[in-house]
Structure 1
Amino acid sequence: MAYYSGFFVFDQQKPRRAVLRNYTEADFDELIKIQSECFPPPFPEELWWNREQLNNHVTLFPEGAICVEVNGQLAGSLTTLCVDFDPAHPTHSWSEITDDGYIRNHQGNGNTLYVVDISIRPKYRKFGLGKWMMQAMYQLVIEKKLDRLLGGGRIPGFKRVSGRMTAKEYVQKVLSGELNDPVISFLLKCGRTPIAIVENYLEDDESQNYGVLMEWENPFK
């Protein structure tokens, strides 16, 4: 079922019209441009979305591919797939669980909605768009009667303190409010809860290759 929702977001005190909807082939060029703005050089260009990946998203699981517009301009996107996740064995890498972003391993009968990527254009990052898109995916979890939404969060603030604490200690300090992490703190505000810290989750120098698996459990399961 296609998703479409209109609402207002605020640019400081000024309301702006926004729309949440599924993305389509017509959006591919703009989605790739958004990736280039979110991950500028020296981030490798070959790691931005490509058209084959995006085509798989809208073909294999269109319900899980959404974007948001503000005043008619594409401002961000969120992509998911369904997987069969065992909480007793949580360790995995982003590459293996998302098929390097190609989602050819999407399982229609999986128990978990997994976040492949969320990207917001820098100029729109104070509009609350990420939280709106996450809420739309929570609705999808409930609609499909899944157990949870899950995804691995980067910890980009970890590198600067990694010489004096472990990744686990860093996350604990974020949870206690002693430290703020731009990704983990954002996901906490979206209602996500950390369940595991994974080594070698993603090649990411800022996070020292760690990822924090964070879930939102379906309250109606």
Structure 2
Amino acid sequence: MYKKWYVFNGDKPIQAVVKNYTKDDFQALIDVQKESFPPPFPPELWWNEEQLKEHVKRFPQGALCVEIEGEIAGSITGLMIDFDPSQPEHTWSEITDDGYIRNHNPAGNAIYIVDICVKPTYRKLGLGKWLMQSMYEVVVNERLERLLGGARMPFYHKYENDISAQEYLNHIMEGGIWDPVVTFLLHCGRTPVQVLPNYIEDEESCNYAALMEWKNPFLNREA
């Protein structure tokens, strides 16, 4: 993939580029991770070079980054899985092979988002939404059924003693609570499927995540 368009910083248009990342981008991608996920996010969950090598080897179509004026400002990574809606339970570690994606299934029916991140200084440009849209385009191009991913719920720790994780998600959907990750993904067109317990070691989310999907709207038409 390689596409150019304009994003806006106030009224000023700035050219952005989404492309498949390569070995030359590895250090910049690791730097993006460090800035995007500061403590208490576990540092061992930042990308390392071996993981990135596997991404570009196993599924280069799902290894995307966005550049602003030649600087990598964010990335999104996915792998193909064979998803069974009747058995949705999983952990991040299981479904992503701890981020190495060596379990990538070229015959799968869905893309699973391993990670999406944008440097804080670039977030006002809406790059996260554009990265997600680009991965939807990969889903359509590969003729897959859907895109899936576990969404952190980083504000849940504020409510843990009062409501369950499912109730927290319900409140988000009713408009009573704003969550920086779940609400962002709703704006991107993702839909909640269910709450996943023990999804990832994440103090802010109390280890919960919301499984959220986007279904390919073109499959029925093509059929």
TM class by shorter chain equals over 0.9
Q: Which residue of 2 aligns with 1:62?
A: 60
Unaligned runs of 5+ in 1: none
Unaligned runs of 5+ in 2: none
Q: How far did residue 42 of structure 1 move?
A: 4.4
Secondary structure, in 3 states, of the residue corresponding to 1:105?
coil
Q: Deviations over 1:87-130 (max 9, x none)?
A: 11100000000000000000000001000000100001111111
Q: Deviations over 1:4-28 (max 9, x none)?
A: 0001111122111110000000000
Q: How far did residue 44 of structure 1 move?
A: 3.7
CA distance in 2, matches of 1:164, 1:125: 31
Residues 1-221 of structure 1 correspond to what in structure 2 (within 5 A)?
A: 3-221=1-219
Q: How far did residue 220 of structure 1 move?
A: 1.6
CA distance in 2, matches of 1:42, 1:192: 26
CA distance in 2, matches of 1:46, 1:113: 24
TM-score (norm: length of structure 2): 0.96
CA distance in 2, matches of 1:39, 1:149: 23
Is this contact kept in 1: 2:40–2:203, CA < 8 A? no
Secondary structure, in 3 states, of the residue corresponding to 1:69?
strand
Q: How far did residue 41 of structure 1 move?
A: 3.6
Secondary structure, in 3 states, of the residue corresponding to 1:9?
strand
CA distance in 2, matches of 1:135, 1:157: 25
CA distance in 2, matches of 1:191, 1:124: 21
Secondary structure, in 3 states, of the residue corresponding to 1:168?
helix
Question: 1:116 is aligned with what amino acid?
Answer: V
CA distance in 2, matches of 1:40, 1:136: 25
Q: Deviations over 1:123-176 (max 9, x none)?
A: 011111111111111111111111100000000010001111111111111011
TM-score (norm: length of structure 1): 0.97
Number of residues of Structure 1 aligned to a counterpart in Structure 2: 219
Q: Deviations over 1:26-58 (max 9, x none)?
A: 000000111111122444433211110000000
CA distance in 1, matches of 2:135, 2:24: 22
Secondary structure, in 3 states, of the residue corresponding to 1:125?
helix
CA distance in 2, matches of 1:183, 1:41: 16
Root-mean-square deviation over aligned CA pairs: 0.9
Percent identical pairs in the alignment equals 56
Question: 1:96 is aligned with what amino acid?
Answer: E
Secondary structure, in 3 states, of the residue corresponding to 1:81?
strand
Question: 1:94 is aligned with what amino acid?
Answer: W
